[in-house]
Structures are given as C-alpha cells and as structure tokens.
A and B are shown apart, each in its own frame.
Chain A
Amino acid sequence: MLRFIKQLENRSRLVSLTMACVIVAVIGLVDYLTGHEISFSVFYLLGVALAVWFVGKWCGALVSMLSVVVWLIGDFASGARFSSPVIPVWNAVVLLTFYLVVVWLLARLRSFHNNLEAQVLQRTAALTDQIAERERLERELLEISEREQRRIGQDLHDSLCQHLTGATLAGQVLEEKLAALHLPLAADAGRMVGLVEEGIDLSRKLAKSLFPVEMEADGLMLALEEYAGTASELFKVNCRFECDSPVLFHDPATAGHLYRIAQEAVGNAIKHGKAKNILIRLDASEESTMLSIHDDGAGLPDELPKNRGMGLRIMAHRSAMIGGRFQARRDAARGTRVTCELPALVPTEKSPL
C-alpha cells in the first residue's frame, strides 16, 4: 500500500489530476445509474482526496466543486424532483462545505507529513555529517598520537641517548683522572658511568616502544621479527614471525599501524587468550598484502566485556586508516585469528631500497 502511494507521488501532477477526474466521472455515472434515492456523495471524496494529496489544496477544491456539479447533474438526470429550487442549492452548498473541510484537513495533514519527512532528512544529513566529522577526528587523533610518539621516540633516541653517551664519556674521563691521582673516588666515578649507561639502556627501550618501526622499507619485517623475539622472552610464550618472501612498505605510517595491530593482537592473545603459541605472518599475493596473527589461546568470547572491545576497535580503526580490511575471529579449531588485508598497490616505478 505504502509503496503504491510512493509510486503515485512520483507520478506527474497531471496524471494524478486526470485520475481524480476519472474517479469523479465514474462515481457520477454509478450515482446516475443507481438512481437519485441512493446517495453516493461520500464516494466523491476518493477523487477529492487524490487531488489534495498528490496535487494540492486548490486542485482539491476544484475537484470538490466538480464532484458537487457531477452529483447534482446525476441526481437531476436520474429523475430527482425537488419541491423548491432552493433545496438542491442548499444540499449542494452543504456537500461542498463538507468537501472543503475535508480538503483543508487533508492539506494540513499532507503538509505535516511533508515537514516531518524534510526534518527527518535534515536530521539524517546532520547526523551523517557529525559521524563523518567524528571519524575524521578519531583518525586525526590517532595520527597525532602516532606522530607525537614517533617524535618523542626519535628525540629520545637521537638527543637524549647521545647526550647521555657524552655524559658517560665525561664520567669515564673523570674516573681515569681520579685513578691517575690514586684517589679512591675513582671507583665512585666508575659506578656513576655504569648508572648513566643503564639510563641509556632505559631510554633506548623507551624510544623503541614509542618508535618501533624504522623508516626503511624492510623496517616492518625487522621490527616484527624483533618483537616476536622480545614477546617470547618477556611473556614466556612461543611467538614466531614468518614471512615467505620480502614484504616492503614504503609508507612508514602504514608499517607503523600494522606493527601496532600485531602488537595489540599478540598482547590480547597472551593476556586474554592465555595463548602459548603465536604466529605472526606477513604474506603478499597478487591482489593483497596480509598481516595475520594466529594464536592457540582461548579464542574470542562470543560477547566481549565492555572494557575489552576498545583494543579490537582501535585495531579495526588502524586498519581502516590504512585502507585495510580487518577481521578478528575465533578460529575454527582453537584460538583467535586476527587479519589485516591491504589491497596491493600497483607498483608504478622502481622502488630502490
């Protein structure tokens, strides 16, 4: 029914008007054939309503008048006689007023309906804009944090570590000078050098966690390999990285996101899945490049607790940002399988390392 009305709305006004007139004419004919004693006046409303709804209230008024005229002619033609000429006029005016009231009501209803539709459209558009804006912001936020992390990491590595190296050298000079003077303080200076060296180690580790993937195209392979080793050592699991043929990334941001996805997936596998064996793979085919993390843990629960969805969402988000297709699902046999598939870029030119 609704679909039928929608179809009618899409037709031109002329078609609707013609339909209304045809209905009025048909009802007038039936009215004439059934005789003047049976009143058909209410059925003309069908044509009137059609005209109001699909064309407009003035057209509705016009069809109302047409209906009254047709009704009168029908009655006279089928032999109606009145004691006074005022009576048919009175009847016609009453009927016309009734029709016009209906026309007015329908026109109002129609305009409310239209307003509501317009409002819904407007709100939907506003909401769509807002969603797009929020997505843009989220992306921006992730990018900023990534960029800042990288900057801090690089600063730590390039400035602070170098500075501390200078400090260890200065300490060493001091130690040797004190030793030359046969002062027992030399040992203290030596210990100080050791402490600063530990400081270098700490800031290097920090820098590594902030900025794990080196800028070179083969950086991701190296970083994932190193990460698999570190994770195995740190969490006492068997985490391996496999990559059959070299997979290069010329965009450090893409490599960075993939690294974080792998990191998050491995972290989840250990923390929530209690996995013992984890395999990180980088595969390239003609159509795509795929990062996959497969573990033998408990697998994703059917319904995640509220505080756990965030990691998955961020992984999906990172994947979306680099144009990838993200999937995290319970493996048929056991454990979880997280994948991020990137469409292969057609290499345009030689890409020297």
Chain B
Amino acid sequence: MNKPKVKIYLVDDHPLVREWLTNLIHQQPDLLVCGESEDAPHALQEIPATKPDVAIVDISLKHGSGIELIKNLKAMFPGVAVIVLSMHDERLYAERALRAGARGYIMKRETAKKVITAIRQVLAGKIYMSESLAAVFAEKFVDGRLPAGGSLVEQLSDRELETFQLLGRGYETRQVAEMMSVSMKTVQAHCAHIKEKLRLTNAAELLREAVRWQENHPSS
C-alpha cells in the first residue's frame, strides 16, 4: 500500500452523519477523511490546507447555501470533485447542483449503499447520479429540452431576451411589465414564446433557466 490514500472532505451540519460517514469511508482501505466542517465558511478555510480530492457537501447548511459553496469550490479549487449529499428531492435540486459544478448527487436515503460507489465513480472522472435521475435527464435530452450551451437563448427576440434577463435578475412579471412599459399580457406572451423557444415546460422552469443564464452572463 504505497499509493497515497484518496482524501475526502465532509461538509454536513449534522454531526451524526459526519461521524458515521467518516467510519464508513474509513472501512475502505484506500479512502481517508481528511477533514470535516458543518458550514461553508469553515470549509473554505480548511480545504486549502487539507487538499482533499473529493468534497462531500450537503446542500442545506446552517450558514450559507451548499450551492454557493459548490460554485466557490469549483472556482477556487477546481481539482476538488464535489459530490452533493442532500435530503432534498433530486428532481428539484440535482440539476441545479450539477450545473453549479458538482460531479455527483446522492439522495441521503441512499447514502449508505451508494456513497462509496459515487466516490469511486467521481474519482474515475465520471458524473454520478441515480438511475432514475439519469433517466429523467436522458428523456430531457432526447426531447431537446437540455440546451447545449446558450445557443437556444440566441433565438429569442430582443424583447423576449429583455424579459428573460429581467426575470433572471429576480424581477417579477408585474415589475418586468412596468420596466418594459408594456402590459402584463405582453410579458405573458413573451414568456410563452420563450418557453416554446427554449423548450421549457413551465414557468418555474423558465424562471430557473433565466436565473441560471443570468448567473452565467452577469454582465449582460
């Protein structure tokens, strides 16, 4: 056993989960938990010193959001592969987490059986997600609803793009109408066209897409 152990860092606000996750990981001869913390600021402080290969992060933390932490980790320590561990429904949060830069998403209920698999898969350079989630993504891909890059946004008209951007910045439909000096009906029509062009199924998805796009294009 000359090979150095793979180092794993844990961020979870529940001590029992951290404790037993550590025990479980230590069952593996080649894996080592190099540090743990219960919130994002502490984690960002410790990670440079501990130099983990993998970070396991819970989305809901006491201080700071897990999604923000993932983005920070991706920006500051691109070498650290992040696996998200969450109590939240994967259908609602996995896409967000993966887009923020995570390499894996595990529902907490499946943690015990899947976490080691996920670590190994991520270490091999692959993305880990549950089979049912992979099926959902595959379906979206086949439907063409998963846009490759921002190319679909380019099909929007100027007014539609403006609507899309304002929604992404957190304005409500009513405010958007006011700012663009048009009626709500017009904004709703814009929304309908955007949904059609971006192949989004509903308004919640439209909003998420707008926010995501805005985050990636903050200057526009």
Contact = CB atoms under 8 A, between A and B. Distances in A.
Interface stretch (B44-52, B125-133, B142-150, B163-171): B163-171
B187 interface: yes
Contacts of B87: 157-158, 161-162, 165, 204
Interface in A233-265: 241-248
A304 interface: no
Interface in B174-213: 174-175, 177-178, 183-185, 187-188, 191-192, 202-204, 206-208, 211
A352 B167 CA distance: 9
A353 interface: yes
Contact of A245 (B27, B108, B173): B173
Interface string B23-39: 11001000000000000
A222 B92 contact: yes
B20 interface: yes
Contacts of B183: 286
Given A172-B24, A344-B174, A351-B171, A244 B203 contact: yes
Contacts of B21: 169
Contacts of B184: 245, 284-286
B61 to A, nearest CB: 11
Contacts of B20: 166-167, 169-170, 173
A146 interface: no
B172 A193 contact: no
Contacts of A162: 14, 16-17, 87, 108
Contacts of B217: none
A231 B173 CA distance: 28
A225 interface: yes
Interface string A175-215: 01100000000000000010001001100100000000000
Contacts of B206: 245-246
A176 B185 CA distance: 61
Contact of B16 (A163, A193, A226, A352): A163
B111 interface: yes
User: Which of B171, B174, B175, B183 counts the most chain A CB atoms within 10 A?
Assistant: B174
Given A218-B207, A285-B184, A166 B16 contact: yes
Give the dominant DSSP class at A's interface.
Answer: helix
A350 interface: yes
Contacts of A248: 172, 207
Interface residues of A, number: 44
B23 A243 contact: no
Contacts of B24: 169, 172-173, 176
B110 interface: yes
B75 to A, nearest CB: 21
A171 B112 contact: yes
A16 interface: no
B95 interface: no
Interface string A138-177: 0000000000000000000110011101111111110011
B136 to A, nearest CB: 12
A55 interface: no
29 contacts: A162-B16, A165-B16, A165-B87, A166-B19, A168-B111, A169-B24, A169-B111, A170-B20, A170-B23, A172-B113, A173-B24, A197-B109, A201-B109, A218-B207, A221-B202, A222-B92, A243-B202, A244-B192, A246-B204, A248-B172, A282-B203, A284-B173, A286-B183, A347-B172, A350-B169, A350-B175, A351-B170, A351-B172, A353-B211
Given A200-B109, A286-B184, 13 more contacts: A157-B87, A158-B60, A162-B17, A165-B16, A172-B113, A173-B24, A221-B203, A244-B188, A245-B191, A246-B173, A246-B207, A247-B173, A284-B184
Closest 9 CB pairs of A and B: A166-B16, A169-B20, A352-B170, A172-B112, A245-B191, A221-B204, A162-B14, A243-B203, A168-B112
Interface of A: 157-158, 161-163, 165-173, 176-177, 193, 197, 200-201, 204, 218, 221-222, 225-226, 241-248, 282, 284-286, 344, 347, 350-353
